[in-house]
Structure 1
Amino acid sequence: MDADDSPAMTLLRLLAEGAPASELGGVTDPGGEARELALRVRAAFDSRRRREAELTALVETARDLAALRDPSGILEAIVRRARTLLGTDVSYLTLYDPAAGDTFMRATDGSVSVEFQTVRLSLGDGLGGLVASTHKPYWSADYLHDQRFQHTGTIDSAVGDEGLVSICGTPLVVEDQFVGVLFAANRSPRPFSPDQVALLGSLAALAAVSIVQTRTADEVRRHTAGVERAAAAHDRFAELVLAGGGVDDITKALGDLLGGWVALLGSEGECLSTHGAAPVDDPRSGGLSASPAVSMTYSSGRLAHDPDSDQWAIGVKAPQTPLGALVLGGVGVLDDADRRTVERAAVVTALVLLFERTAAEAEQRVRTDLVSDLVSGRGDPQSLAARARTEGVDPAARHAVLVADADDQVPRRTLLLAAHAAAGPGSVVGEHDGRVVALVPSLDAQQAAVELARRLARLGRVSVGAAGPVTLTGDVPPVWAEAVRTVQALGSLGLAGQGASAAHLGFAGLVVGSAPDVDGYVHTHLGPLLDYDSRRGSELVKTLQTYFDAGGSPRHAATELHVHVNTVSQRLERISALLGPSWQHPDTALELQLALRLRRLSAGASPATSRPRQR
Structure 2
Amino acid sequence: MADEAFELLELLQKEAPASALQDVLHQARANGTSKAEMARLTRAVDLSLGIHALFARRQQREAGLAALVDTARDLTLPYDLDALLKVITRRARLLLGLAMSWVSFDDVEARCSRVRAADGHASALTIGFSVPLDGGVGRRAAEGSAPFWSADYLADDRFTHSEVIDEVVRAEGLHAVMAVPLQHEGTGLGVLYVADRRVRHFSPDEVSLMSSLADLAAVAIEKARLLEQTRHEVVALARNTSRARDSSTAARRLGETHCRLLDLVLRGGGLGALITEAARALDGALLVRDPSGRILAGPVGTLAEPSEEDLRVALLEAHAESRPVACGAATPHTWVAAVRVGDDLLGPLLFTADGPADDHQLQLLGLTAQLTAVTLMIQDGVAATQGQLRDEFFHSLLRGTPPPPEQVAEQARRLDLDLEAPHVMVVARVEKGLRGRTAAWASSYAHRHRGLKHVDGDRMVLLLPGTDAGPAAQAVSKELGEALRCPVTVGSAGPARGPGQIAAVHEEARRCLDAVTRLMGPGGTASPQDLGFLGLLLSERPDVATFISDTIGPVLDYDDQQFTELVPTLEAYFASANSPSRAAEVLHVHPNTVSRRLERITELLGEGWQKPSRALQVQLALQLQRTRATLNQRHGGQPRQVIG
Larger Rg: 2
Give the TM-score taking structure 1 as reference length: 0.40
Report which structure shows greater RCO (CA 8 Å, sep ≥6): 1
TM-score (norm 2): 0.39
